[in-house]
Structure 1
Amino acid sequence: MTRDPLIRVTAMPADTNPYGGVFGGWLMAQMALGAGSLASRVGQGKAVVVSATDFAFPGAMAVGDELSVYCDLLTTGTTSLTIAAEAIARERNSEATQTVARGTFKFVLIGEDGRPRALARGGAA
């Protein structure tokens, strides 16, 4: 089975922490962007993050490495979606990859009125 990344981005010097490593907060933000893309597609509209849990950072990446974020829909509720995100880094000058972060995001679907709205059953998945 092949997976397509929801987003792909290169880590830049501005994305580092004071120790010169890629900042974990930047990784989490990229994962939230990828998960949000899936949530909006499945939910067919606006979706906002209401929680982020179960984060682990099993690897590290360097400036210039390419980050790919993969997401899977775990569960759906009446107005919510729970999405697992995995961040995989590819070394800049090779094909070597490693998982650098994992986490789970919960989204609530929002209607035009700014209030939670129900997930359309049988919609896009």
Structure 2
Amino acid sequence: MSTTLPEPTGSLLLRTLAMPADTNANGDIFGGWIMSQLDLAGGILAKEISSGRIATVSVSSIEFKKPVKVGDVVCCYGECTRIGRTSMSIHLEVWVKPVKEDGVKDRFMVCKATFNYVAIDSQGRPRPIKPE
């Protein structure tokens, strides 16, 4: 019997390490740090799609499912779910790979979100996104 494990949605956009300086009062990784990693990852994809400058305009949703621990490898995956005339929505997921002493490296999702970006010109005004 084959068991299919869940897989991240979209492409790997960013990979980093959760460090002690990023912890909250509980000793887990601060949710604001996770949000900044999501914004970096989404911004990379939005910039590629729009072929230029972008700005984050909103976060439609964010759901924290499990805590992230110091030493976890944090991987941000994403895919574009909507492209408008000047804006786009990016679905993002954070998966972690805890490094355990027993050698097991199971990954699991800890957060998912939808970030919205707008393409901007050199003066910071919205500009059309050219279709590929």
TM-based fold match above 0.5:
yes
Aligned to 1:22: 29
Instruction: Tell me the secondary structure at the aligned position of residue 92 of structure 1.
Output: coil
Residues matched between the structures, number: 122
Pick aligned residue for 1:85 from 92, 95, 103: 92
Structure 2 residue 86 is matched with structure 1 residue 68 = no
Structure 1 unaligned residues grouped into runs of 5+: none
Per-residue deviation, 1:29: 0.6
Give the aligned residue type for 1:76: I
Instruction: Tell me the secondary structure at the aligned position of residue 12 of structure 2.
Output: coil
Q: Distance in 1 between matches of 2:47 and 2:61?
A: 22
> When the two structures are superposed, what TM-score results if normalisation uses the length of structure 2?
0.87
Pick aligned residue for 2:123 from 101, 113, 117: 113
Q: Distance in 2 between matches of 1:25 and 1:101?
A: 12
Per-residue deviation, 1:101: 0.6
Instruction: Tell me the secondary structure at the aligned position of residue 18 of structure 1.
Output: coil
Once the two structures are superposed, residues 97-119 of structure 1 have per-residue CA deviations (whole angstroms, 9 ceiling, x without a partner) of: 11111000000000122211000
Q: Distance in 2 between matches of 1:57 and 1:114?
A: 31
Highest Rg: 1 or 2?
2
Instruction: Tell me the secondary structure at the aligned position of residue 5 of structure 1.
Output: strand
With 22-31 and 3-12 compared, the bigger mean Cα shift is at 3-12
Query: RMSD of the alignment, in Å?
Result: 1.5
Structure 2 unaligned residues grouped into runs of 5+: 1-6
Once the two structures are superposed, residues 53-96 of structure 1 have per-residue CA deviations (whole angstroms, 9 ceiling, x without a partner) of: 21111111110000000011000110001001000011023311
Q: Distance in 1 between matches of 2:126 and 2:81?
A: 19
> When the two structures are superposed, what TM-score results if normalisation uses the length of structure 1?
0.92
Structure 2 residue 75 is matched with structure 1 residue 58 = no
> What percent identity do the matched residue pairs reach?
34
Q: Distance in 2 between matches of 1:23 and 1:53?
A: 20
